[in-house]
Structure 1
Amino acid sequence: MPAASVNPATFVFADDGLVPNSPLPLLIYKGAIDLDHNAPEKTIEDLLGANGWGDMWRNGIYDYLHYHATVHEALGIARGHARVRFGGDSGKEFELSAGDVAILPAGTGHQCLKSTTDFSVVGAYPPGARMQITQPTPENHAHALRTIPEVGLPDSDPLSGKDGPLVKLWGNGNGVTR
């Protein structure tokens, strides 16, 4: 279940010529989910699914730089902790731990730099296009600049639904809309 009214920290990363990133902010919710320690992945899956995010998977975060040019992504940390860089090689490093959630707008570079052996993530996506892994090359960057603006805004925040911070921050709360 979501922790009581957790507001996300927001970060915007510039296009670096290989990783497009996004004018929409990366959202990081620290300690956002009170996990059932017997089944933390299921706790996250149930919450994200109840708020309209699906096409879920369980794994870690790839140790190479990549992004998704066709869809936004939620990463719920179920177990362990990791150091993850968002925004590409010139981005920012974050420590993510069980109960944290990161929501990446399409185009946001990400890479796991170091993690505990028990590190477990649940990934999910809003309805729409399927996730595709894109590596930072000049050709992929040029293509992503065409596809990212076509990615629709989610109807709901994966943690708190239609009135959640994502909807306000990405939709009309900060003047950035698509």
Structure 2
Amino acid sequence: MSMQIIPYDIKPTKLIPNSPRPLLLYKGCFLRNGKVDLTLAFDIFKANGWDTQWVTTYGHYQRSHYHSTTHEAMVVVSGPGKIRWGTADFGGDPQEHTYGDSSEDGALYYDVNPGDIFVIPAGVAHKSYDPSAPSPDPISLTGGGAHKVASDDPRRFVKELDVSGFTMMGAYPRGMSWEWSEGGAHVGRFESVWNVPTPDLDPFFGATGGINEYWNSESTQ
């Protein structure tokens, strides 16, 4: 499969480990007739050893967070939306920490569109939001506490979802599950986050391309 891959090198901050591995963006994935095919995304992730755990529609706000024990793949299935990368939130006011100048220096802001896949190294901070959303908070469409698709037939469940607004699907290497860490949680021990092993297969490309090229030992030293 041939497409544009954009790597982003996001350095550690005082509060966020981020990663020596680059954040990867794959453009134009899973599109059929201008829309993302949820079943195709589910199947390719699964075939490459990454399991879908949630489909979520985003609201006005989200706290900046990162995952310290697993890498993550997110595909935008409807949009547009916005993601801020690499920095921590300060304070508890959602209006201020999302739209005000309340993050550390060096934040990367990205306007996302359907078909964008982000392959996120453990430790890279992110927050996803849609200023035009009707709800302030994210809404999981798949239940399971956003740790699994709450259905005996998750593939069919995902296939039948009616998505709108800014919605993404999230997948993780098989056997892994996400936890939520905010800025400062790993100060003094960033290396424990950086040492999360690289999966054997890229969530989209499989055995060649993607993380096999950009996250190999030479490129991350």
Give the TM-score taking structure 2 as reference length: 0.69
TM-score scaled by structure 1?
0.85
- Please say if 1:93 is aligned against 2:109: yes
Q: Report the alpha carbon displacement of residue 176 of structure 1 after superposing the two structures with TM.
A: 1.8
Pairwise CA distance, 1:116: 5.3
Which structure would you say has the larger RCO, counting Cα contacts within 8 Å and 6 or more residues apart? 2
Matching of residue 82 in structure 1 with residue 53 in structure 2:
no
TM-aligned CA distance change 1:69 to 1:144, over 3 Å:
farther
Residue type matched to 1:167 in 2?
A: N
What residue ranges of structure 2 are gaps of 5+ in the alignment? 88-102, 134-164
Aligned length: 171
Q: CA deviation at 1:113?
A: 4.0
Give the strand-richer structure, 1 or 2: 1
Paired with 1:162 and 1:36, the residues of 2 have a C-alpha distance of 27
Give the 3 Å change call, closer, same or farther, for CA 29–150 of structure 1 in structure 2. same
SS where residue 85 of structure 1 aligns? strand
The whole-number CA distance in structure 2 between the counterparts of 1:145 and 1:57 is 27
> Are 2:183 and 1:136 aligned?
yes
Secondary structure, in 3 states, of the residue corresponding to 2:77? strand
The question of whether the paired residues in 2 share the 8 Å contact of 1:80 and 1:116 is answered with no
Counterpart among 42, 45, 49 of residue 45 in structure 1: 42
Tell whether the 8 Å contact from 1:69 to 1:144 is kept in structure 2 after alignment.
no
Which residue number corresponds to residue 207 of structure 2?
Answer: 162
Q: 1:63 touches 1:112 (CA, 8 Å); kept in 2?
A: yes
Amino-acid identity (%)? 29
Q: 1:116 & 1:48 partners in 2: Cα distance?
A: 30
CA distance in 2, matches of 1:102, 1:152: 18
- Structure 1 stretch 144-153 or stretch 12-21: which is displaced more? 144-153
Residues 12, 26 of structure 1: 8 Å contact kept: yes
Partner of 1:45, secondary structure, is helix
Match of 1:121 in 2: 168
The residue type paired with residue 169 of structure 1 is: Y
